[in-house]
């Protein structure tokens, strides 16, 4: 595994900063999902304009071997207890946990690639595919709703994403239904204020409701 990772690090394949366009109007879960992501990217772009941060969408990131090892060895059952405990902490059902354990038992390790709907990171880390985002926002999709709600909080908490927001979309608007921030290596729910959720990274408020 380390040889594969070393090879990936040597590759200098530029990441494309995806700016979603309304005219495409495509999404595996419907146009409202796409439109909400577009609204979020546009808003965050405005916030980071004069900062050292960049906003990306749907760009694959990779975990290095040390970060993958934080989840433990699923092949021999060593990490099962910790995995179950943490997914239960975020509200996962027994059937969902069972399915995730079966998935990992086949490979022995947690998934090493991920592509957040929207994420924020330092500008100088845009082309480092192994860098960890500071902020991740996921828009619930019908085919991976439980992943976003119950698994990804544990996943992002473990790899060190500082803030994680979960959004739900309808035909006319989007709503942040959960917001977490990392406190002593563990996620705690953010407090909703009148202006929205305050981001300690952006030093600004992220709205709870988005018109699309």
pLDDT at 1 over 60: no
**What is the third-level CATH fold of 2-70+112-211?**
tt1808, chain A (3.90.1570)
- Quote the pTM value: 0.85
Taking alpha carbons only, the member of 201, 53, 19, 206 closest to residue 122 is 53
- pLDDT per position as a tens digit, 69-81: 999 988 877 888 9
Residue 190: count other Cβ atoms within 10 Å of its Cβ: 20
Which DSSP helix (H) or strand (E) runs through 41?
Answer: helix 31-48
Residue 180: what pLDDT?
Answer: 98
Burial of 37 (0-12, 13-18, 19+ CB in 10 A): buried
Q: What is the pLDDT of residue 4?
A: 37
56, 16 Cβ separation under 8 angstroms? no
Angle between helices 152-159 and 80-89 (to 10 degrees): 110
The answer to whether the CB of 155 falls within 8 A of the CB of 114 is yes
With 80 as the cut, is the pLDDT of residue 131 above it? Answer: yes
What's residue 106's pLDDT?
Answer: 84
In this structure, what token pair is assigned to residue 100? 């995730």
* Over residues 87-97, mean pLDDT: 96
What's the pLDDT score for residue 143?
Answer: 78
Average pLDDT, the chain: 86
Q: Give the separation between CA 164 and CA 178, rounded to whole angstroms.
A: 8
Provide the percentage of residues in the chain whose pLDDT is more than 90: 67
Kindly state the DSSP code that residue 123 receives in the 8-state scheme.
Answer: G
List Cβ neighbours of 115 (8 Å cut-off, separation of 6 or more): 58, 59, 60, 61
Helix axes 80-89, 94-107, angle to 10 degrees: 140
Check residues 79 and 11 and name the one with the higher pLDDT. 79
Of all residues in the chain, the percent with pLDDT exceeding 70 is: 86
Domain ranges of the chain: 2-70+112-211
User: Which H/E stretch holds residue 74?
Assistant: none
pLDDT band at 29 (very low <50, low <70, confident <90, very high): low
């Amino acid at each position: 595994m380390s040889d594969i990772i070393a090879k990936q690090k040597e590759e200098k394949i530029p990441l494309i900063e995806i700016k979603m366009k309304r005219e495409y109007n495509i999404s595996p879960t419907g146009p409202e999902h796409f439109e909400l992501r577009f609204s979020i990217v546009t808003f965050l772009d405005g916030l980071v304009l004069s900062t050292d941060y960049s906003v990306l969408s749907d760009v694959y990131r990779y975990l290095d071997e040390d970060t993958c090892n934080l989840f433990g060895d699923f092949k021999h059952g060593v990490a099962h207890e910790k995995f179950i405990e943490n997914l239960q902490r975020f509200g996962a059902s027994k059937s969902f946990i069972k399915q995730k354990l079966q998935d990992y038992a086949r490979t022995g390790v947690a998934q090493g690639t991920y592509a957040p709907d929207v994420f924020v990171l330092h500008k100088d880390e845009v082309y480092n595919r192994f860098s960890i985002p500071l902020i991740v926002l996921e828009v619930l999709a019908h085919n991976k709703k439980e992943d976003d709600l119950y698994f990804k909080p544990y996943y992002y908490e473990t790899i060190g994403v500082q803030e994680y927001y979960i959004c739900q979309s309808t035909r006319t608007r989007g709503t942040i239904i959960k917001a977490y921030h990392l406190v002593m290596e563990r996620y705690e729910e953010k407090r909703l204020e009148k202006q929205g959720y305050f981001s300690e990274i952006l030093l600004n408020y992220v709205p709870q409701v988005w018109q699309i």
